[in-house]
Structure 1
Amino acid sequence: MHLGNLLIAVILFRSWLRLRHIPGPRTASLTNLVRRSWVKTGDAHQIHTDLHRKYGTVVRSGPNAVIVSQPKAIDTIYGFKNRLEKSEFYDSIMPRSKGGKLPDIFATRDEDVHRRMRRPVARLFSVTNLTTFEPAMASTMEHFFSRLDERFANKDAEFDLFKWIQFFMFDVLGQVTFSRELGCLENGDDVDSIVANIWAYFRMVAANTQMPWLDYLWRDNPLVPGSTKRNPLVEFGFARITERMSLSENEKENLGQTDFLACFLQEQAKDKDNTLPPLFVPTWVNSNIVAGADTTSILASACMYHLLKNPSSLAKLKAEIDVATAKGRLSRYVTWKETKELSYLDACIKEATRMHPPFALPFERVVPKDGLVVDGYFIPPGTRVGMNPWAVHREKWLFGADPDAWRPERWLCGEAKQQEMYKSLLTFGAGHRSCLGKHLAYFETYKLVPSLLRQYNIELVSPVGDWTVENKWLAKPSGFQVKISSRK
């Protein structure tokens, strides 16, 4: 018994010794249970930010974990030159199906799988290709506004704008992925529990990203029946693929290559040499819906919330929209090209991206054999190192003395300063593993926000409280009640 205690003490001491030169809470240096508990609270983004404000830009967050908030370190940790490996953090995020892991492009740690997943579809997510989806997006936006008119506009009726932006984004992703809306707008509610299941999935996996070996006790345990570990999100994607495959040849020809699913199937059909990973198509379908809709909903809602919470900022953007409309430069459903003329809109969306990044845990990497030096601290090989976007986006030396405040004007600066700030945004990651769907997220947000404000007068319902956030990997907001009236 005494020998066992001594062995544990030696292990803990050696673990503490390795990173003893890096400041941080003492308890975190002894066990990963501490950082796991931070995620369990749903407030890890703020905890990490507060730790950096207390200890500095480099903080020890676990026995073998360090978090960094120095924007200048982004290239060191995530850049194309070093290409640090992803840590086992991502194993917990990777979706499972029938006892195996889907080769998810975001979560896979295998660089070869990532390359084979990304190469055939990268062009589909380019801005040039996304413009071909504008008619489909405009159709869904028209449906969105008609539902708002039917249920809420000019009726003194309160509703949760975040919730309805979610419905819109899920239906848009349904339209561009399957050539049909998922039905959220029509029902005014979640369909097939897809919204609820996505959040339930993140609730389940978030804490274990800090101690991934725990997955072997449940999700990856062969002794646990697969029926008890059903993944409704993956099942949803398989169901949509089955529907497509059951169409007649004429029906398939009528669809052509008009949606993402058709393109995914086309790439699979061209793959005569079997270079694509197994389950290529369901993986991409899952990524489009799971990764695309909720993150974009959060970004667009963050922009709307902060505008509504700051009347002077809202008035400035509405004036810009009204001037462009009067000059005939804005369509009813604003196009991507038209948004390029709205400089204050651009500043507002960049500020929302800075203040409320949808991903709110550190993107973990493994320090290579030569180690890293960040702000004078040597981080030894094998250490898990990551940067939380929330903390990085609040560094005063770069973003100003008021990083917790909504101030789009900080982006109306010289081009060099603006580029320095923009390159320091970790909202969609950085380097060769950055999110492939970021253009789609921006595309939808830049179109939706001005279209909403062109169509409606929107006001927050009093009393206006703070927008609380629960961070379960995704930083999900609490929603916010509004009233709307049509603009004449």
Structure 2
Amino acid sequence: MGVLTQIQPLTGALALEASGIPDNLRKKPAMLPAVLVILIILGLILQLWRTRSRLSHIPGPFWASISNIPRVWWVWGRNAHRIHIGLHEKYGKLVRLGPNMVSVGDPNEIAQIYGFTGKFKKSDFYSVILPMSKGRILPGMFATQDEKIHSILKKPIASVYSMSNLVSFEPYVNSTMQVFCEQLDARFADRGQICDFSTWLQYFAFDVVGEITFSKRLGFLETGEDVENIMSDIWKFFQYVALAGLMPWTDRVWVKNPYISRLRPAGWNAMAAFALARQQEREQLEKSGEPAATNSKDFLSRFLAAREKDPSIPDWAVLAWTQSNITAGSDTTAIFLRTLFYNLLRHPDTLEKLMTELDDARREGKLSEVAAWHQARTLPYLDACIKEAGRIHPPFGMPLERVVPPEGATICGEFIKGGTIVGMNGWVVHRSAEFFGPDADVWNPDRWLCEDIEKRKAMDRGLLTFGAGHRSCIGKNISQLEIYKLVPTLLQRYEITLADPGTPWNLQNRWFVPQFDFNVKLTRRGEKELI
């Protein structure tokens, strides 16, 4: 024991000597925590310097180079799309929006970043969009980052979304338009009441999707209400995604935490829950052998048939498909329709020009009272107005984030290291004077009627209204079918005017989905106007 008593202090002294710690610190062990704090601070400074130096050649706000908090704050202030436009005006085609995030404002880079090669994968922003229940994440075509899952989901049903196939759904769009007009007549036009037009356009978009997907309208038009709070829940979800998507780790810690998720009540979000209920109803009918009052070729029928044909398709695929339909054909379409009517009413000269085209086509027998798809597609000014609406006000108000491949990429003449997040915001890209002219900031449908065919093709390539490349919105044809049919049908039936022309236009920026809310007066147009 005596030997051990002598050895232990000696060993400690040798350890101190070998460590190179000065004598004064050996005498004052209480100073060690202070040294550790200093070392930690120095480490953080070094990490901050390394983070900043990674993209030091890309201009942008200083605080954005060291933290994602500024871009979260911009979104929280519901003005991110305008701030992004201003930053690109100040700094140029490339702007650093975060420690590892670069915004790209040159339409020429769309092909590289969003091209069909798929080299630039979706960032973790999209992981936040996927719903989760009881520790189970439901994949989706739009949000999945896994290209294999995307292929599994898209390949069996891609042909269903072709425009040649979607035209077969036209009668069901017509039936919903009829209900829409009946409700507008009974509630507003016949009674001289003010119509919350922005809300009713969304009711229409939701019910069309219900009709073509489940052979059952969701009930928005008949009730004039937000059925099962679907719209409200969607907006709450979007508001969460807009913020958490910029710092995805927060979503992994809380919402996507499998342990915490299992403690919550079972259930999907409102859209998924509605879609799942309709799927279960259909499957029960098929098992019972009872005749179903449904369209045997609606989307749900085709989804179930695809799963039956290929047993390798997972059971959850049907729910992923139907939920994607609701998303693709409702909110995006509603925002698009609001934008179009808003700008037509704000610029009466363009509305008058469009009405002249519609009335002429009606007199010549080229346009029915309920516009057909093949008729609407032949109207050049209607086409120009719809394209301009998608350009001036794309539905998504934030960058569509992608990750630079490991080998890096040269973007706008600058080399960007692999792993860097890059993205293009349609609100920025669509204001390119090079592509869309010096008046790119203003509404001008005539730009799409220029005689220069190559110029028009270039403008088409510069659009991100529905995304681009192999991950563009699969439901864009559903949206276009609705828009091209509804706009001429309503404009032929009603004279639409602002309820209070003196009221300032109200742009409700719901974080990453900026949109217009406005009230109108609806007056039935007389047949004498067509004579």
TM superposition score normalised by structure 2: 0.89
**Equivalent residue, structure 1, for 2:79:** 43
Distance in 2 (CA, whole Å) between partners of 1:84 and 1:246 is 42
Distance in 2 (CA, whole Å) between partners of 1:86 and 1:71 is 19
Structure 1 residues 230, 106: closer, same or farther in 2, change over 3 A? closer
Q: For 2:394, which of 357, 363, 367 is the aligned residue?
A: 357
> Which deviates further from its counterpart, 72-81 or 350-359?
72-81
Q: For 1:239, which of 277, 283, 303 is the aligned residue?
A: 277
Distance in 1 (CA, whole Å) between partners of 2:409 and 2:133 is 37
**Equivalent residue, structure 2, for 1:268:** 307
**Equivalent residue, structure 1, for 2:491:** 453
State whether residues 97 and 234 of structure 1, in contact with CA within 8 Å, keep that contact through their aligned partners in structure 2: no
**Equivalent residue, structure 2, for 1:470:** 509
**Aligned-pair identity (%):** 45
Shift of 1:227: 1.6
State whether residues 195 and 522 of structure 2, in contact with CA within 8 Å, keep that contact through their aligned partners in structure 1: no
State whether residues 364 and 384 of structure 1, in contact with CA within 8 Å, keep that contact through their aligned partners in structure 2: yes
Structure 1 residues 284, 67: closer, same or farther in 2, change over 3 A? same
Structure 1 residues 124, 82: closer, same or farther in 2, change over 3 A? closer
1:391-428 Cα distance to aligned partner (Å, 9 max, x none): 00011121111222111011111221111101111011
Shift of 1:231: 2.2
**Equivalent residue, structure 2, for 1:423:** 461
Shift of 1:340: 1.9
Aligned residue pairs, count: 485
Question: What value does the CA root-mean-square deviation take over the aligned residues?
Answer: 1.5
Structure 1 residue ranges, 4+ long, deviating more than 6 angstroms after superposition: none
Q: For 1:299, which of 336, 348, 353 is the aligned residue?
A: 336
Distance in 2 (CA, whole Å) between partners of 1:95 and 1:175 is 24
Q: Does 1:158 align with 2:197?
A: no
Q: For 1:377, which of 393, 411, 414 is the aligned residue?
A: 414
Letter of the 2:187 counterpart: R
**Equivalent residue, structure 1, for 2:423:** 386
Structure 1 residues 441, 23: closer, same or farther in 2, change over 3 A? same
**Equivalent residue, structure 1, for 2:121:** 85
Gap runs ≥5 in structure 1: none
Shift of 1:252: 4.9
Distance in 2 (CA, whole Å) between partners of 1:254 and 1:86 is 40
**Equivalent residue, structure 1, for 2:376:** 339
**Equivalent residue, structure 2, for 1:108:** 144
Structure having the higher Rg: 2
> Which deviates further from its counterpart, 362-371 or 10-19?
362-371
Q: Summarize the alignment of residues 246-325 of structure 1 with structure 2, pairs less than 5 Å apart.
A: 246-247=284-285, 250-252=289-291, 255=294, 257-272=296-311, 274=312, 276-325=313-362
Structure 1 residues 469, 396: closer, same or farther in 2, change over 3 A? farther
Q: For 1:433, which of 463, 471, 476 is the aligned residue?
A: 471
Distance in 2 (CA, whole Å) between partners of 1:479 and 1:184 is 18
Gap runs ≥5 in structure 2: 1-36, 527-531
**Equivalent residue, structure 1, for 2:203:** 167
TM superposition score normalised by structure 1: 0.96
Shift of 1:330: 1.0
State whether residues 43 and 471 of structure 1, in contact with CA within 8 Å, keep that contact through their aligned partners in structure 2: no
Q: For 1:443, which of 481, 503, 511 is the aligned residue?
A: 481
**Equivalent residue, structure 1, for 2:95:** 59
Q: Summarize the alignment of residues 25-36 of structure 1 with structure 2, pairs less than 5 Å apart.
A: 25-36=61-72
Distance in 1 (CA, whole Å) between partners of 2:385 and 2:350 is 9
Shift of 1:82: 5.5
Shift of 1:158: 1.1
Shift of 1:376: 2.0
Secondary structure (helix, strand or coil) at the match of 2:330 reads: helix
1:294-317 Cα distance to aligned partner (Å, 9 max, x none): 110111111111001111000000
Shift of 1:136: 0.7
State whether residues 65 and 96 of structure 2, in contact with CA within 8 Å, keep that contact through their aligned partners in structure 1: yes
**Equivalent residue, structure 1, for 2:29:** none
Distance in 1 (CA, whole Å) between partners of 2:347 and 2:190 is 22
